[in-house]
């Protein structure tokens, strides 16, 4: 009878371990040979900015990443509130301008027109109409003549 070859599982795992060990050392060499980012190459190699500035930039980058990871919820809330305010700001500004226009038109009507037969609600209506481009204010002048 012929003897069959048997494999020892310890030998197989040893070979796998050796192969993985070699792969990791090759990976480390690849990581060490990695190119510099384009902005580092441009600013610090080509232009020649001082290395102290690079150190400060890298520290700031690291601390900002840590801050974003730690304060993610509060940053999202802040950005939501800021976006909401930025979205509604034109609406609020438009409303304020309209109110200012109505107040100016009301004062103009009171000072320059004959408003004996007009109550406060009608005065507000006429000033609002004037701010929207209406011409009722000129009809008051016709009443005077």
Model pTM greater than 0.85?
no
pLDDT along the chain (145 residues), means of 10: 56 62 59 76 88 92 93 95 96 94 88 77 86 75 50
Q: So what's the pLDDT on residue 30?
A: 58
Question: Which long-range contacts (C-beta less than 8 Å, at least 24 apart) are formed by 124-132?
Answer: 127/102, 127/103, 128/102, 130/105, 131/98, 131/101, 131/102, 131/105
């Amino acid at each position: 009878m012929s003897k069959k070859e048997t494999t020892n599982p310890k030998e197989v795992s040893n070979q796998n371990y050796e192969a993985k060990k070699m792969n990791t050392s090759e990976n480390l060499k690849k990581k060490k040979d990695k190119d510099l980012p384009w902005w580092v190459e441009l600013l610090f190699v080509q232009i020649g900015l001082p290395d102290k500035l690079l150190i400060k930039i890298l520290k700031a980058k690291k601390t900002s990443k840590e801050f974003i990871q730690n304060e993610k919820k509060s940053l999202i809330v802040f950005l939501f509130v800021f976006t909401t305010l930025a979205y509604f700001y034109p609406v609020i500004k438009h409303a304020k301008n309209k109110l200012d226009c109505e107040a100016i038109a009301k004062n103009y009507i009171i000072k320059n027109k004959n408003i004996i037969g007009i109550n406060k609600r009608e005065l507000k209506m006429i000033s609002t109409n004037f701010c929207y481009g209406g011409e009722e204010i000129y009809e008051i002048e016709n009443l005077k003549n």
